[in-house]
Structure 1
Amino acid sequence: MNICVFLSAADLDERYTTPAREFAELLGKGGHTLVWGGSDVGLMKVVADGVQAAGGRLVGVSVEFLRGKARAGADEMIVAADLAERKAQLLARSDAVVIMVGGTGTLDEATEILELKKHGLHAKPVVLLNTAGFYDGLREQFLRMDAEGFLPLPLTELVFFAEDGAGALAYLEETAGIR
């Protein structure tokens, strides 16, 4: 399976990097391909290193202004002209999406992917990996949106919240054929 992972390029605390390494190892050992932002820094590097070390493939989609941070050892590297093209390429090249911890860029990617799914423009499974409760507040907001009628489909059809990498991957492997 080609699994797009949206995540931070920042150097982060072990409470985020350790679970990220564990998830990356599961992806690689499962024979999956990581489709990611292509950067060889921060958490992006941690996950790419883990997937590659465990035997998985790497497909990066960098962007022109970050070309200098792109991973040299990826199996495939695409350089998009801008962030919009990058997001479109990431989605087009993946069978499923996992959203890990990140900042405004990751949040932008997450909301766009969910908006596209809401409108039926893709039916790929989407997982929010809630490492160390990072997305607890966002989950509360989504539950409120669902309860108050802001979502045209049930939240459970839009996104799955996983507490750990094993749960995220199990969900993806169960639902990958149901698209």
Structure 2
Amino acid sequence: MDITVFCSAAALDDRYTAPAKEFAALLGKRGHTLVWGGSDAGLMGVLADGVKEAGGRLVGISVELLAHKTYRGADELVMARDLPERKAALLARGDAIVVLVGGLGTLDELTEVLELKKHGLHTKPVVVLDSAGFFAGLRSQLVRMAAEGFLPRPLDELVFFAEDADSALAYLEAAGEASAA
């Protein structure tokens, strides 16, 4: 599978980098391709290094604004004109979406992916790897939105919250097998 990952480009501590490294190693060992923002910075670089070290393939989709931070070891590097074009290309290129910890950009990417899925504009599985409970507040808000009728589809049809790398990848692989059947 080509798995698009949205995450931070910030340097983070071990409670966030360790799950990213674990996920990256699993992704590479199982022969999946990482599609990501193309950066060598922070968590993005950690993720790319881990996939590469485990023998996986890397497809970076960067933007002219951040060209100076591109990952030099990518198997393929695509340059988008701007951030909206990059976000669209990342969504289009992946068979599935995974969200790791991140800031406003990552939150923007996640909410757009969920909004598009809510409207049936894609059917790709979406997984949030909830490292160290980082997304607990967002999860709580989404549960409330569902309970109070703000979501036209059940929350579990939109997103899966994984507690660890194994369950994240297991969910994606099961979803991939189900869609292939």
C-alpha deviation, 1:93, in angstroms: 0.7
Counterpart in the other structure of 2:58:
58
C-alpha deviation, 1:97, in angstroms: 0.2
Distance 1:22 1:73 in 2: 19
C-alpha deviation, 1:167, in angstroms: 0.5
TM-score, normalised via structure 2 length? 0.98
C-alpha deviation, 1:110, in angstroms: 0.3
Q: Which runs of 4+ in 1 moved over 4 A?
A: none
Matches for 1:31-70 after TM superposition, within 5 Å:
31-70=31-70
Matches for 1:1-150 after TM superposition, within 5 Å:
1-150=1-150
Distance 1:104 1:18 in 2: 21
Which amino acid in 2 is paired with 1:118? K
C-alpha deviation, 1:125, in angstroms: 0.1
C-alpha deviation, 1:72, in angstroms: 1.4
C-alpha deviation, 1:176, in angstroms: 1.3
C-alpha deviation, 1:178, in angstroms: 3.4
Q: Is 1:178 the equivalent of 2:169?
A: no
Three-state SS of the structure 2 residue aligned to 1:50 is: helix
Distance 1:94 1:35 in 2: 7
Aligned-pair identity in percent equals 69
Unaligned runs of 5+ in 1: none
Distance 2:63 2:131 in 1: 27
Three-state SS of the structure 2 residue aligned to 1:176 is: helix
TM-score, normalised via structure 1 length? 0.99
Three-state SS of the structure 2 residue aligned to 1:115 is: helix
Unaligned runs of 5+ in 2: none
